[in-house]
Chain A
């Protein structure tokens, strides 16, 4: 099992749609979870951390299921500007490294 696996994508959705991304991780000792956003050929930027109780930031909702080692990101009312690659990120051994998923590409069209 790969350390961090994401939906392969790409996701092509119309404006206003709701879209969900899933991610599984293999290290049961992982303590920190994140979603990063990366625009084409640019640096990744933190979208949101993922907390055990789930958390929401505007149109974005992140969920964590430790028992299943599963993280999700829900985007409601998609905007054209949401088009990007979304990276699932989990901390690795002894907290010294972040393990990045390969990313899921979202394309929102008008």
Chain B
């Protein structure tokens, strides 16, 4: 089954404790992206990757890191989480650059992160 998976689905942590949210897709997609969704603010892009070893900042990259060492994986790293990073996080992938040629973005199921 074609899908984007994220782990963990739910995480409660404390300020400053490094964490990684994994994202994997099995569709051989070039493009991957991380979003966060907050009430009243909608979905905002954190980082994206157009291919292996190619990553770039989205609209809200502060406090986050990513890597793309393999095509299928795109982990999101919070080196020192803070309470303002409490949010619902989505990973997404698409065959080509987001939206080009009507290309569909497929989203993972989301990771609900709480930073105390």
Contacts and interface: CB of A to CB of B under 8 A. Distances in A.
Interface stretch (A18-26, A64-72, A94-102): A94-102
Interface string A98-110: 1011110000000
Interface of A: 31-32, 34, 41-46, 49, 51, 87, 89-91, 95-98, 100-103
Contact of A46 (B40, B59, B88, B105): B105
> For this complex, into which size category does the number of interface residues on chain B fall?
20 to 34
Contact of B40 (A34, A42, A89, A102): A102
A69 to B, nearest CB: 16
A98 B105 contact: yes
A43 B45 contact: no
A41 B48 CA distance: 22
A28 to B, nearest CB: 16
Contact of B101 (A32, A41, A101): A32
Nearest to A49: B102
Interface of B: 33, 35, 40-45, 48, 50, 56, 58-59, 88, 90, 97-105, 107-110, 112
Contacts of A43: 90, 107-110
B99 to A, nearest CB: 3
B107 A89 contact: no
Contact of B100 (A44, A91, A101): A91
A87 B109 CA distance: 17
Contacts of A89: 99
A102 B110 CA distance: 17
Contacts of A49: 102
Nearest to B90: A43
